[in-house]
Amino acid sequence: MKPVRIGILGLGTVGSGTVNVLSRNAKEIARRAGREIKVVQASARDLKKERACPTKDIKITQDPFAIVDNPEIEVVIELIGGVDLAKELVLKAIANGKHVVTANKALIAIHGNEIFQAAQNKGVMVAFEAAVAGGIPIIKAIREGLAGNSIEWLAGIINGTGNYILTEMRDAGRDFADVLAEAQKLGYAEADPTFDVEGVDAAHKLTILAAIAFGIPLQFDRAYIEGISKITESDVEYAQAFGYRIKHLGIARRTEQGVELRVHPTLVPERRLIANVDGVMNAVLVKGDAVGPTLYYGAGAGAEPTASAVVADIVDVVRTLTTDPNNRVPHLAFQPDALSDLPILKMEDVKTSYYLRMQVIDKPGVMADVTRILGARKISIEAMLQKESEVSDDSASVIILTHRVIEKNMNAAITEIEALATIQGEVTRIRIEQLNKEWD
């Protein structure tokens, strides 16, 4: 049989990794796919740049449209990143009847509904395993492996750069900016690294996971997003004193009122496996009604781990090239005409427990005021710690852990506490999740 001819848009970290894996494992991959896979053309901005992969058999162009318009090419691999140009290229490839593989979570989270509709109309596939959690085959696991379940919730560490930064800050006491620069050098970070540290990248990925878990359209603009840039060393230490670790989690949970879709730093009990996922590793915990909790772990970023997922998609596409488009696994796991209109909950309607840290003037009656405000909103305290300030004799840090409460009640309580004359600055709030089998 003739080889399948593919074209790669972008020869950076993931593009080069993909060429390396395809060439190193060519024989095994062909045995799996049933056909040899040949990279015939690739694009990059700078033709003079040295590439981290062999390129002598690949025609390299500066014009990515030359690839999507190349009649020889059956499958286009989009590894440029960004949204606008990538969308134009992917839609053009689809219009030209080509299948697409992409690692671009921003593209899928924001324009996926339109892209999948276009692909369905044209009878081509758009595969995106590498878009979530790097090398972990989490899309396949949820979309196919858990197809018999009603998924109740999922929670994941889904940004490798952020987890790398948090781990190095905690274990080596390293500076935030230094670790971020290292993550960029290692090829983990996004072109705009604020996407990693402010939670946007994780929200893109969570949007995709929620869609395939619950059979809802992609709704990135409804996700609640908070990053890791405000976490201090003291919060990491206090969390540890209470038996927790701070992890940046993406959480999607189905409730009777709607779907929670939220990305934020979270205190997780240190005995949970996911609390011990360190460095660039990612992990996603998925609770299905039949299977119970399941955990998926692996490298969340980097050239070859991501290439592993890209190549798996290429093999999937090649295996199904000749199947009837109506009999393929649907892009978003559920049949396109069977998506549900479950609403996404506003963050103020979400219920969680909280870690609160505040700087107080150390005098009688201060704690009574704080506990009165919490009590008036029916917020019950689970634990409390007071630490003398290292910088001033008359102030102290107070850390409070609460039981679960609706976020809008906590917002109101925090506003009232911050207005007390005895409270200095803002109250730091980090949500706590137990990630129990049972989540009330």
Residues acting as catalytic residues: 205
- Binds 196, which of ligand NDP, ligand HSE, none (CB < 5 to 8 A, cut-off by type)? ligand HSE
Single-letter amino acid, residue 160: G
Listing DSSP states for 245-302 in one string gives EEEEEEEEEE-SS-EEEEEEEEEEETTSGGGG--TTEEEEEEEETTTEEEEEEEE-SS
Q: Which option in ligand HSE, ligand NDP, none does residue 318 bind, with CB closer than 5 to 8 A by kind? A: none
Q: Which residues contact 305 (CB under 8 A, 6 or more apart)?
A: 134, 135, 298, 299
Smaller CB separation from ligand NDP, 86 or 396: 86
Q: How far is the CB of 313 from ligand HSE (least distance, A)?
A: 14
Check binding of 12 to ligand NDP (CB under 6 A): yes
Q: Which is nearer to ligand NDP, 45 or 363 (CB)?
A: 45
Query: In the set 45, 363, 372, 403, which binds ligand NDP (CB under 6 A)?
Result: 45
Shortest Å, Cβ 179 to ligand NDP: 16
Q: How far apart are the first and last CA of the chain?
A: 55
DSSP string, 305-347: HHHHHHHHHHHHHHHTTTS-GGGSPPTTSS-GGG---PPBPPG
Site string for ligand NDP, 277-306 (x = CB under 6 A): ------------------------xx---x
Nearest alpha carbon to residue 439 among 342, 351, 379: 351
Report which of 238, 230, 237, 265 is spatially closest to residue 249, judged by C-alpha positions.
Answer: 265
Parallel/antiparallel/unpaired status of strands 75-78 and 281-288: unpaired
Which residues contact ligand HSE (rule: CB under 6 A)?
134, 159-161, 188-190, 196, 201, 300-301
| Partner whose binding site includes residue 135, from ligand NDP, ligand HSE, none (CB under 5 to 8 Å by kind) | none
Q: In this structure, are residues 68 and 96 in contact, taking their beta carbons and an 8 Å threshold?
A: yes
Binding partner at 161 among ligand HSE, ligand NDP, none, C-beta below 5 to 8 Å by kind: ligand HSE
134 touches ligand NDP by CB under 6 A: yes
Least distance CB 313 / ligand NDP (angstroms): 12
| Interacting residue with ligand NDP among 7, 64, 162, 250 (CB under 6 A) | 64
- The site map against ligand NDP for 335-364 (x = CB under 6 A) is ------------------------------
Residue nearest to ligand NDP (CB): 12
Helix (H) or strand (E) holding 410: helix 407-418
What is the spatial distance between Cα 182 and Cα 178, in angstroms, rounded to a whole number? 6
399 in contact with ligand NDP (CB under 6 A): no
**150 DSSP assignment:** P
Minimal distance in Å, beta carbon 121 to ligand HSE?
29
Nearer to ligand HSE, 130 or 347 (CB): 130
User: Which entry of ligand HSE, ligand NDP, none binds 81, CB below 5 to 8 A by partner kind?
Assistant: ligand NDP
**Dist CA 143 CA 335 (whole Å):** 11
Q: Binding of ligand NDP at residue 141 (CB under 6 A)? A: no
How many whole angstroms separate alpha carbon 173 and alpha carbon 170?
A: 6
Instruction: Identify residues 65-104 at the interface with ligand NDP (CB under 6 A).
Output: 79-81, 85, 103-104
Interaction between residue 14 and ligand NDP (CB under 6 A): yes
Whats the size of the chain, residue-wise?
A: 440
Q: Mark the segment that binds ligand NDP (CB under 6 A) among 6-14, 211-219, 286-294, 356-364.
A: 6-14
13 binds ligand NDP, rule: CB under 6 A: yes
State the residue number with the nearest CB to ligand HSE.
161
Q: Does 187 sit near ligand NDP (CB under 6 A)? A: yes
CB count in 10 Å sphere of residue 71: 9
d(CA 77, CA 43): 10
Q: Which two tokens stand for residue 279?
A: 């460095």
Which residues contact ligand NDP by CB under 6 A?
10-15, 43-46, 49, 64, 79-81, 85, 103-104, 130, 134, 187-188, 190-191, 301-302, 306
